[in-house]
Amino acid sequence: MSLLVTKFGGSSVASLERIHNVALRLRELRQEGYQLVVIVSAMGDTTDELLKMAGQIGNEFDPREMDMLLATGEQQSAALLTLTLQSMGIAAVSLTGWQAGIMTDNAHSKASILNIAPERIQQELNKDHIVVIAGFQGLSTEGNVTTLGRGGSDTSAVALAAVLKAERCKIFTDVDGVFTADPRIVKEAKQLSQVSYEEMLEMASLGAGILQPRAAECAMLHQVELEVLNSFKRQQGTIILEGNRMEHDRNVSGIAHDLNVAKIALFDVPDQPGIAMRIFKKLAENSINVDMVIQSATRGHHNDIAFTIDRDELTRALPIVNEVVEEIGASGMSYGNNVAKVSIVGAGMQSNPGVAAAMFEALAEENINIHMIATSEIKISCVIDETEIKKAVRALHAKFELDKVK
Amino acid sequence: MSLLVTKFGGSSVASLERIHNVALRLRELRQEGYQLVVIVSAMGDTTDELLKMAGQIGNEFDPREMDMLLATGEQQSAALLTLTLQSMGIAAVSLTGWQAGIMTDNAHSKASILNIAPERIQQELNKDHIVVIAGFQGLSTEGNVTTLGRGGSDTSAVALAAVLKAERCKIFTDVDGVFTADPRIVKEAKQLSQVSYEEMLEMASLGAGILQPRAAECAMLHQVELEVLNSFKRQQGTIILEGNRMEHDRNVSGIAHDLNVAKIALFDVPDQPGIAMRIFKKLAENSINVDMVIQSATRGHHNDIAFTIDRDELTRALPIVNEVVEEIGASGMSYGNNVAKVSIVGAGMQSNPGVAAAMFEALAEENINIHMIATSEIKISCVIDETEIKKAVRALHAKFELDKVK
């Protein structure tokens, strides 16, 4: 009998009614002959409510205790789903993270899975139970309850699918799958039937918000075939698998965009080895992630350097950058939070040199000015004015004929 | 350093404000130089809310899954109390039942503690932590989360006090301690500074409702010195300890009463061996507890038999009794739910034969009719009309001069 690992997020189990819907869904998969392992998140906003309660106690939290508190949310939803399955006459059992053998490191609130001892899960599967597992949590090597951080349930699911050698890992969520662009912006946007891990990673980190990048990475590493699909509809989702197992019928798979962007520019930075590093080291020490970087061609002994960061980090970043400007003797800096990033993503573009030119052409045709450009093997990103973003996404979607994608 | 085990019930941790009050209390005990292990119940009506949710799913519950669900309540309050202690600068750590090494049998929803492996608790105490433990729960020999049943947190506390050889186990609750009678009925009722385990057991099972009888039994078995006290006041409670360590300055320690009583009488039961057994066996099979039994002197070859049960079991009991009446050929039955039980309890009465007579005399002086009498070594109970109960409690309280008790 084939094994499926399924995962249902917080919105899919937000009420007893929705939990019942999940149970119906599982019954269908059962009737198709699958053995089932189910990973659940906490119900709706349980986690936020628990966080709010803790927030009333103080500002600084011992992450060990926060994990102890938050892990109860998933334990509750796992028990409630199991009770629902049983009320429908379906044999099921719930397991906490530690019962499921999910061992993590000791980094409370953002623990990494070290390994999974699947004996207990296997025992329960052998008894023909649907095994419902509390997502987002594990047991540290010190014997404490840990959580994997927000979205960690995706990672629990992928890791379990890898260890249990599941046929597929189905991530049930509240969207239909991965689209060629945000359907709220491009009404012709099409759902993709397949994307590669790499494409998914680029799209996920560009804010498509469907799957945790961490989970996609874990799936890629262990070659777990994923499917992202809507828990409220009965239709196929998007399958995520190794690029070389896909049919490449397209150069570009999707247009991603990101409004959470701010740009910082430093003027007349002395052209000495290690200067640029000092800026980025200082930002990294403060956990501020730098995305795109450009350095102008040397003018005399000075360069201009510009880079982007998450817009919501800007207030934290500015004093740090100002300090560095004085330290290294740059002539000044400027910043802008009225920019955005648009990207084309596609595993097929690696072997197709005309793709970048087509992108710049499409933006030029719309008179959109490009501030910065960054390229990787499967992605080209441009920073443009935020006001132009919708126009840019639509123009690129049309240029690469993504409305015709299957 | 001496170790105290303390336990705070659901009403003592019903809100973050009350949890803060508990933390202040613990800080005081800490400043007095005690090592502290703290057992907490779930916040206020958390358990009832979870039960209600499960009730919306179905009627029949897998007790294993119910335990999984309910155990989250205590885990949450343990984490919240720990976070509160930490916010006050007090080192603390929370442990679940399984982390605290509380091993139980597999009787889900009413598990018994088999043994406690206190290594982890000891480790945390050695680090000078206040150790906050989720009450009411443990880990079964099959590796599942179990609960000890309602009021099980008292039992967790007593068992931990026994294993850790605590100086005393303090049960913080919302009453001041054990009284000579219900203060709502007898305004002269006095708080007892000490009672024996046996007296506490009789009072607890008579509905004083302060301490789970099971916990009192466990304390007696392991000679754990208990104190029941009010978590909202700064005053001494009632200490419960071995009778021979007390000063016996009284014959009677308290007047207990119980309104949850119904009386059933069977007429003309054939005087054959084993007949009475049949009635009680049938009731026992249906988990209906029989309290007092009287059998009239034989009239010819027939007896009348009367007994009491919990009043809330009456509807369930009547069809069973009717069936037996036909089966054994009794001439009929009658029942009454307008009766109540009044008892005098006192370890001192064993060596004082005049106590029973004084009780009957007090009731006679008030013209109260006695339906049934039962005696044990430290208790005499009478079934009377429910309407007379307040008068009876007051008369007995006066007769035994309990307003003068210290």
Residues from chain A contacting residue B79 (CB–CB below 8 Å): 65-66, 68-69
Out of A65, A86, A144, closest to residue B83 by CB: A65
- As a whole number, mean pLDDT of residues A213-242 equals 91
Go through the domains of chain A in sequence order and give each one's CATH number. Answer: 3-174 (3.40.1160.10), 262-336 (3.30.70.260)
Interface contact flag, A82 B66, Cβ < 8 Å: no
Instruction: Please report which confidence band the pLDDT of residue B85 belongs to, taking 50, 70 and 90 as the band edges.
Output: very high
Q: Is the pLDDT reported for residue B205 higher than 60? A: no
Task: Identify the H or E element spanning A325.
Answer: helix A314-328
Residue A404: pLDDT band (50, 70, 90) is confident
Q: How many CB pairs under 8 A join A and B?
A: 97
Check if B139 contacts A (Cβ < 8 Å). Answer: no
Average pLDDT over residues A314-326: 92
Q: For residue range A7-18, what is the model confidence (pLDDT) as tens digits? A: 999 999 999 999
Residues in chain A: 406
B144: which chain A residues are within 8 Å (Cβ-Cβ)? 99
ipTM value greater than 0.95 = no
Q: Is A80 on the interface with B (CB under 8 A)?
A: yes
Range from A256-270, A337-351, B186-200, B292-306 carrying the lowest mean pLDDT: B292-306
Interchain contact B345–A (C-beta under 8 A): no
pLDDT at position A295: 78
Contacts of A69 in chain B (CB under 8 A): 75-76, 79-80, 83
* Per-residue pLDDT, A250: 77
- Mean pLDDT, rounded, for A346-371: 88
Range list of β-strands (E), A117-259: 130-134, 137-140, 145-147, 168-173, 194-196, 226-230, 238-241, 254-258
pLDDT at A72: 97
What value does the mean pLDDT take over residues B252-279? 87
Inter-chain contact A72–B76, Cβ cutoff 8 Å?
A: yes
CB of B35 within 8 A of CB of B1?
yes
Q: Give the whole-angstrom CA distance, residue B102 versus residue B99.
A: 8
User: For residues A92 and A89, what is the distance between their CA atoms, to the nearest angstrom?
Assistant: 9
CA-nearest of A105, A101, A93 to A130 is A93
On the 0-12 / 13-18 / 19+ scale of CB atoms within 10 A, B29 is middle
> Which of B58, B80, B93 is opposite residue A57, by nearest beta carbon?
B80
Question: Between chains, do A87 and B60 touch, taking CB under 8 Å as contact?
Answer: yes
Residue tagged 């480790």 (tokens): B123
The answer, for A71 touching chain B at a CB cutoff of 8 Å, is: yes
Q: What is the pLDDT of residue A299?
A: 64
- B42: pLDDT strictly greater than 60: yes
| Per-residue pLDDT at A245 | 65
Q: How confident is the model at residue A298 (pLDDT cuts 50, 70, 90)?
A: low
Q: Quick one: pLDDT at residue B212? A: 81
**Which of A81-85, A387-391, B197-201, B258-262 is the least confident region?**
B197-201
Kindly determine whether residue B93 and residue A16, on different chains, have CB atoms separated by under 8 Å: no
Interface test with A, best of B40, B83, B85, B122 (most A CBs within 10 A): B83
* Cα distance between residue A348 and residue A402, in whole Å: 13
Question: A13 — contact with chain B (CB < 8 Å)?
Answer: no
Q: Across the interface, do B68 and A75 touch by the CB < 8 Å criterion?
A: yes
A316-to-A286, A337, A339, B76 alpha-carbon distances in Å: 9, 13, 18, 34
- pLDDT of residue A217 exceeding 60, the answer is yes
Comparing A291-305, A348-362, B253-267, the range with the smallest average pLDDT is A291-305
Residue B297 is predicted with a pLDDT of: 66
What average pLDDT is seen over chain B?
Answer: 90
When pLDDT is cut at 50, 70 and 90, the band that residue A247 belongs to is low
Which whole number is the average pLDDT over A54-78? Answer: 93
What is the pLDDT confidence band of residue A70, given thresholds at 50, 70 and 90? Answer: very high
- Ranking A245-249, B106-110, B207-211 by mean pLDDT, the lowest is A245-249
Is some CB atom of chain A closer than 8 A to the CB atom of B71? yes
**Confidence band for B78, pLDDT divided at 50, 70 and 90:** very high
Cβ-Cβ contacts under 8 Å for A367 (sequence gap 6 or more):
none
B339 inside 8 A of chain A by CB: no
A207 has a pLDDT exceeding 60: no
Residue bearing the bigger pLDDT, B29 or B204: B29
Q: What is the pLDDT of residue A108?
A: 95
pLDDT digits (tens, 9 = 90+) for A147-162: 997 678 999 999 999 9
Report the DSSP beta bridge partners of residue A384.
A340
Q: Does A78 touch chain B (CB under 8 A)?
A: yes
Model confidence at B298: pLDDT above 70: no
**Residue A94 contacts B where some CB pair is shorter than 8 Å:** yes
Least confident of A182-186, A235-239, A332-336, A345-349: A345-349
- Tell which residue, A324, A181, A282, A53, has the closest CA to residue B87: A53
Looking up tokens 């201009």 gives A304
Nearest to A72 among B53, B72, B93 (CB): B72
Highest mean pLDDT among B75-89, B139-153, B211-225: B75-89
pLDDT of residue A251: 83
Instruction: Output the pLDDT for position A210.
Output: 80
For residues A86-114, average pLDDT: 96
Chain B nearest C-alpha distance from A5 (Å): 21
Q: Do A68 and B94 touch (CB under 8 A)?
A: yes
Residues of chain A with C-beta less than 8 angstroms from the C-beta of B60: 87
Where helices occur in B106-256 by DSSP H, the ranges are 119-126, 152-163, 197-203, 213-222
- Cβ within 8 Å, pair A84-B57: yes
For residue B62, which residues of chain A lie inside 8 Å, CB to CB?
A: 82-83, 86
From chain B residues 233-272, the ones with a CB under 8 A of any chain A CB are none
pLDDT recorded at residue B268: 87
Of A65, A87, A94, the CB nearest to B79: A65
Q: How far is B236 from chain A (nearest CA, A)?
A: 29
Using pLDDT thresholds of 50, 70 and 90, give the confidence band for residue B200.
Answer: confident
Q: Which of A17, A66, A76 is the best mutation test for B, with the most CBs of B within 10 A?
A: A76
Residues 308-337 of chain B whose Cβ lies under 8 A from any Cβ of chain A? none
First-last CA distance in chain B:
31
Residue A51 sits at the chain B interface (C-beta within 8 Å):
no
State what percent of residues in chain A have pLDDT above 90.
64
B143 to chain A, any CB pair closer than 8 A? The answer is yes
B203, pLDDT greater than 90: no
Per DSSP bridges, beta strands B145-147 and B137-140 are antiparallel
Q: Judge whether A17 is closer than 8 Å to chain B, CB to CB.
A: no
pLDDT confidence tier of residue A209, bands split at 50, 70 and 90: low
Residue A31 has pLDDT above 80, yes or no: yes
**In whole angstroms, what is the distance from residue A369 CA to residue A374 CA?**
15
Out of B57, B79, B99, closest to residue A143 by CB? B99
- The confidence band for B45, taking pLDDT boundaries of 50, 70 and 90, is confident
CB within 8 Å: B58 and A99: no
